[in-house]
Amino acid sequence: MTKKPVKSKTPRSWKQAEAHPSISEIVPEFHDGEWKYYIMINRNIDNPVTGLKGGAFFVDSFRELQYSIDW
């Protein structure tokens, strides 16, 4: 019998995402005419936008954040 892989610890709320060790801060910002969320990640985390480590990026929704980072 094979074991099912353990699901990653994907946050289920903004509060859980902000408390996650990969995230240093989440800042709501009015950008390009609408509200977006500026996600600041720690230096050792792959940035899904730049492909480099660390930095920050924008997301439009919590769902987008969930799919952006390898939790």
- Per-residue pLDDT for the chain (71 aa), expressed as one digit of tens each? 554 444 568 899 999 999 999 999 999 999 889 999 999 999 999 999 999 999 999 999 999 999 998 87
Q: Following CA atoms 54, 12, 8, 2 in sequence, which dihedral angle do they give, to the nearest 10 degrees?
A: -170
Q: Are 39 and 31 in contact (CB under 8 A)?
A: no
pLDDT of residue 3: 47
Eight-class DSSP state of 2: P
pTM score, whole prediction = 0.81
- Residues 34, 35, 41: CA angle, nearest 5 degrees: 130
